[in-house]
C-alpha cells in the first residue's frame, strides 16, 4: 500500500444483496482532487475539492454501491472519524471537527434481487473499521460487489507502481461501466495493455459477445481514486484525477456517457519530499501524470480478472476459460 493510506471493505452478497462499500482512509489527511466526467454522477463533497475551495486535506474517500441511496454510508464514516478527532477543526476543542469525506456511488440497485437492500451508515462504519495498510482484496468485494461492466461481472480492482524518482502511485477502481471492457473482434480485454493474457478462443469470444448482447445496460458508472505519496498542491491533485480518466478510457469503451457517472478522486499524502528545482519538478509531475493513467488502467484490469460469477452475470475468466492464478 502507498504510505499514508489504508483501505477497508464491507461486502454484502447474501440472499437479496449484491452491494457494498469501500473506504480509503488518510488518517493524517491527504491533499485531494477530483474529476467528474460522467453524465449521471452520484457524489458528495466534490465541490469542496475544487482548488478555490477552503479545505485542502481529506480524511477519507468513500466508494459505494446503492446509487444515490448509498451516500448514506458516508454518515457512518464521518461518525467514526469524529470519534477519533479526525477532521477539519471548527471549534476550540480538539474534538470539534468536521471530517472531510468525499464520496461517489455506482448503480447496482436490485442486482441482488431486492431493490431496497443497499448500503447504510453501518456499511461505512464497518468498512472504516476494516481499513488496513495491507493490499486490499480485489473482485466482488466492497463497492465492487454488485459491479457489472458491459454485460460482464465487474468488481473492485487495485494496482500500484513505484516511479524512478522514488514516489509511488496506486489506483483503486470499481469497474461498473456501460461500455465494453473487451475488443469484440479479438475478445481481449482493452485493459491488458502489456499483452499478459492469452487470446480467447473463438468459442470464448463468442461467449463474451453473447453475454454482452443479452444484458440490458442502462445505468452504470466507473468510480475510483489514485493515491500517491508525492507532495502535490490542490491544483496538481485535481490534474492527477483528470489524467487518470485516460486510463479508464483505455480500459472501457466508450466512457463518460450520459448514463455513466464516471468519477475519479486523487489523494496525495505528501510523504515524499518536493523537488525544489522547477524544471525537475515539472518533469517529475509529468511522469506522475503518465503513471496515473497506466495504474488506473491496471486497476481496471485487476477488477475484471478478480471478478467472479454472481447471479446472472458471468466473469471474463469463466466465459473465456481463463484459469485463475
22-34 confidence digits (pLDDT tens)? 999 999 999 999 9
Q: Give the angle subtended at the CA of 25 by the CAs of 22 and 26, to the nearest 5°.
A: 160
Which cell is 263 given?
A: 468519477
**Residue 24 to residues 127, 132, 138, 166, 271, Cα–Cα distance (Å):** 9, 9, 14, 22, 17
Q: What is the pTM of this model?
A: 0.95
Residue 168 located in a structural domain: yes
The per-residue pLDDT for 216 is 66
Could you give the number of structural domains in the chain? 1
Which cell is 230 given?
A: 508525492
What's the CATH code of the domain at 150? 3.60.70.12
79 φ/ψ angles, rounded to the nearest 5 degrees:
-65, -40
Q: How confident is the model at residue 49 (pLDDT cuts 50, 70, 90)?
A: very high
Q: How confident is the model over 270-321, as pLDDT tens digits?
A: 988 777 788 888 999 999 999 999 999 999 999 999 999 998 999 999 999 9
pLDDT over 80 at 221, yes or no: yes
The range of the structural domain enclosing residue 70 comes to: 6-320
d(CA 226, CA 302): 15
Q: How confident is the model at residue 60 (pLDDT cuts 50, 70, 90)?
A: very high
Residue 118 located in a structural domain: yes
d(CA 147, CA 236): 30
3-state secondary structure of 18: coil
pLDDT over 60 at 324, yes or no: no
Q: What is the CA radius of gyration of the chain?
A: 19
3-state secondary structure of 284: helix
Amino acid at each position: 500500500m502507498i504510505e499514508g493510506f489504508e483501505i477497508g471493505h464491507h461486502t454484502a452478497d447474501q440472499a437479496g444483496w449484491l452491494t457494498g462499500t469501500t473506504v480509503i482512509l488518510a488518517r493524517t489527511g491527504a491533499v485531494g482532487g477530483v474529476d467528474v466526467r460522467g453524465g449521471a454522477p452520484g457524489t458528495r463533497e466534490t465541490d469542496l475539492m475544487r482548488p478555490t475551495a477552503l479545505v485542502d486535506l481529506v480524511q477519507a474517500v468513500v466508494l459505494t454501491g446503492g446509487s444515490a441511496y448509498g451516500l448514506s454510508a458516508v454518515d457512518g464514516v464521518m461518525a467514526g472519524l469524529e470519534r477519533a478527532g479526525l477532521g477539519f477543526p471548527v471549534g476550540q476543542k480538539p474534538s470539534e471537527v468536521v471530517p472531510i469525506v468525499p464520496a461517489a456511488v455506482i448503480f447496482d440497485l436490485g442486482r441482488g434481487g431486492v431493490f431496497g437492500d443497499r448500503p447504510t451508515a453501518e456499511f461505512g462504519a464497518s468498512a472504516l473499521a476494516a481499513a488496513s495498510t495491507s493490499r486490499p482484496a480485489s473482485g466482488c468485494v466492497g463497492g465492487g460487489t454488485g459491479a457489472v461492466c458491459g454485460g460482464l461481472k465487474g468488481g473492485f480492482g487495485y494496482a500500484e507502481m513505484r516511479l524512478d524518482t522514488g514516489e509511488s502511485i496506486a489506483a483503486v477502481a470499481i469497474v461498473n461501466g456501460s461500455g465494453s471492457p473487451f475488443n469484440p473482434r479479438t475478445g481481449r480485454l482493452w485493459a491488458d495493455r502489456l499483452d499478459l493474457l492469452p487470446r480467447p478462443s473463438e468459442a470464448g469470444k463468442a461467449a463474451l459477445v453473447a453475454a454482452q448482447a443479452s444484458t440490458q445496460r442502462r445505468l452504470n458508472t466507473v468510480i475510483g481514486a489514485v493515491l500517491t505519496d508525492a507532495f502535490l498542491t490542490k491544483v496538481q491533485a485535481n490534474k492527477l484525477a483528470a489524467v487518470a480518466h485516460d486510463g479508464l478510457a483505455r480500459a472501457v469503451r466508450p466512457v463518460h456517457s450520459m448514463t455513466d457517472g464516471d468519477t475519479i478522486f486523487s489523494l496525495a499524502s505528501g510523504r515524499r519530499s518536493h523537488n525544489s528545482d522547477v524544471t525537475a519538478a515539472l518533469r517529475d509531475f509529468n511522469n506522475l501524470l503518465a503513471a496515473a493513467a497506466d495504474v488506473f488502467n491496471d486497476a481496471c484490469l485487476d477488477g475484471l480478472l478478480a471478478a467472479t460469477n454472481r447471479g446472472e452475470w458471468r466473469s471474463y475468466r469463466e466465459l473465456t476459460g481463463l484459469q485463475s492464478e
